[in-house]
Chains A and B, each alone.
Chain A
Amino acid sequence: MEQQELIPHLFRTEYRKIVSVLCKHFGFDQIETAEDLASETFLTAAQTWPLNGIPPNPVAWLYTVAKNNAKNYLHRHSIFDKKLVPELKKSSLVSVETEIDMSEKNINDSQLQMMFAICHPSIPAEAQVGLSLRILCGFGIEEIADAFLTNKENINKRLFRAKEKLREEKIRIELPAPLEIDERLATVLTTIYLLFNEGYYSVSNDQTLRKDFCFEAMRLCKMLTENKISNKPEVSALLALMCFHASRFDARFNKNGELVLYEEQDESIWDKELIERGAYYLHQSTTGNKVSKYHIEASIAYWHTIKADTIEKWENILQLYNQLLQIEYSPIAALNRTYALSKANGKKAAIIEAEKLNLFDNHFYFMLLGELYSGIDDEKAKQNFFRALSLAKTQPDKMSIQKRIDKLK
């Protein structure tokens, strides 16, 4: 790897580890310090490597520098505290262990604990995603702002508030107690899934960045499967689900960056290896007797890895959606269920069910109605597509609806 690529690459993989370990060491009170010390480490690398050459083991070099930076920081502050502010003697800083443990085990433990701390139920979901992107995945503020289609100031404010909240709530960087694990894990999984969807469905044009988001979400999920305490069936189910979805990542866009609908995708570019990995984790998820929404969604995603339109496929998908909606309603699941119904039971049955959904502010709802009426009542189909067009917000959505209208003429 070239030097100009190496540092950004290492930043992505190592920044989060250094921050997690330092933050675990200092506590959330000093999270900015941990971030500063980690950034300083990379700054030192960027300044010295071009002059002195890349060290033989760049990662170990970074860890050593980070350790020394932290040590110096603690030392300075302990002198400051002892000499100038004697009443602060009791403060945690003075008694803090100055040796930073950068062993692989501590890095893994710290990251896992950090994941649970950041995904604490007291922090708003949006802030959890932002903090995860920054601290657990090492994305830059600019990249995060890009993904959320906002500016750096907004992201900085959002992250600042989230960190304040972590301090106010005195959230500790540790794994939850065994009795709490299921509940806390649910929030962690929600955040990971949000992070994945941020990449998968984001309106941002940056393809590479979006893919990175997806793979980062999968990496975090995989980390959960690698720890005994957090390796629950629903974790494997979520990982399976993400593998199946991600297998279509490249097929979902054409050369011009336009979205390619599932039916029109070239399945020869679906990633077979990811499909196999998904199947492996889906199998892993069947230990235990709990069926989570991730199990059902992963099974639905599994059926979608088979391109051929068979009654068996759609009947299975329909029944899975029937089950999913009983566990957790969402408009998108209701729409997808109705689409599966049209494939399994016919368009006429699906129209009756679709007319009951009443999702009048959702352009996908009118797209579905348009699709169902096509070939049965083209005039009604057109009316629905026009309503969808008036509700659609993004250019690619509008374009794909217009294509459907043109087909009817």
Chain B
Amino acid sequence: MEEYALIMRHEDGSKIASPEQMQAWMKQTMDWIGGIAAQNKFVSGTGLPFDGARVITTKNSKPVITNGPFGEIKETIGGLIVVKADSFDEAVEFAKGCPVLQGEGNSMEVRKIAKNDGVH
């Protein structure tokens, strides 16, 4: 059994939806995670709120700090969960159930977690 990160990429829902719609998405997300946990495949997870986010880049060998990302583009990372799965295929099946995919243009990225075994 390997661990995979399921990375949610989507725009900031609060900019395009009502509080009721946001709450419905929240429930769907909790039910989705609960469903994975009910199969004993959940490892950890974290939401990444867009508020107050900063991006650090380097310009002329110096760090430059800017505000954002603001979640206005659909490729912004909104959160991730780590699951246990036997294969990429199984991890992909979990990812397919994520409610962010209801938004056209949003995406889920599935990445294997490197083992801390000195090889990977």
From A325, A338, A345, A356, name the one whose CB has the most chain B CB atoms within 10 angstroms. A325
* Chain A 326-367 interface residues, beta-carbon cutoff 8 Å to B: 326, 329, 333-334, 337-338, 341, 345, 353, 356-358
Q: In the complex the two chains form, is A319's CB within 8 Å of B30's CB?
A: yes
A193 to B37, CA, bound (A): 23
A128 to B35, CA, bound (A): 34
Tell me whether chain B's interface is mostly helix, strand or loop, or mixed: helix
Minimum CB distance partner of B38 in chain A: A334
Determine if B40 is an interface residue (Cβ-Cβ < 8 Å). Answer: yes
Q: In the complex the two chains form, is A321's CB within 8 Å of B34's CB?
A: yes
Q: In the complex the two chains form, is A353's CB within 8 Å of B37's CB?
A: no
Q: How far is the CB of B82 from chain A (nearest CB, A)?
A: 11
Minimum CB distance partner of A340 in chain B: B34
The size bracket of the interface on A is 10 to 19
Give per-residue flags for B37-55: 1 if the beta carbon is below 8 A from chain A beta carbons, else 0.
1111010010000000000
Tell me whether chain A's interface is mostly helix, strand or loop, or mixed: helix
B side interface size, CB within 8 A: 12
Q: In the complex the two chains form, is B34's CB within 8 Å of A322's CB?
A: yes
Minimum CB distance partner of A353 in chain B: B35
From B27, B37, B42, name the one whose CB has the most chain A CB atoms within 10 angstroms. B37
Q: In the complex the two chains form, is B31's CB within 8 Å of A325's CB?
A: no
Residues of B within 8 A of A358 (CB): 39
Q: How far is the CB of B19 from chain A (nearest CB, A)?
A: 17
Cβ contact of A356, chosen from B30, B33, B35, cutoff 8 A: B35
Q: How far is the CB of A343 from chain B (nearest CB, A)?
A: 13
Minimum CB distance partner of A328 in chain B: B37
Q: In the complex the two chains form, is A325's CB within 8 Å of B30's CB?
A: no
Q: In the complex the two chains form, is A322's CB within 8 Å of B30's CB?
A: yes
Give per-residue flags for A165-184: 1 if the beta carbon is below 8 A from chain B beta carbons, else 0.
00000000000000000000
A325 to B35, CA, bound (A): 9
Determine if A318 is an interface residue (Cβ-Cβ < 8 Å). Answer: yes
From B30, B33, B39, name the one whose CB has the most chain A CB atoms within 10 angstroms. B39
The 21 sampled A-B contact pairs (Cβ below 8 Å) are A318-B34, A322-B33, A323-B34, A325-B34, A325-B38, A326-B33, A326-B34, A326-B37, A326-B42, A326-B45, A329-B38, A329-B40, A329-B42, A333-B38, A334-B37, A341-B31, A353-B35, A353-B38, A356-B35, A356-B38, A357-B38
Residues of B within 8 A of A345 (CB): 31
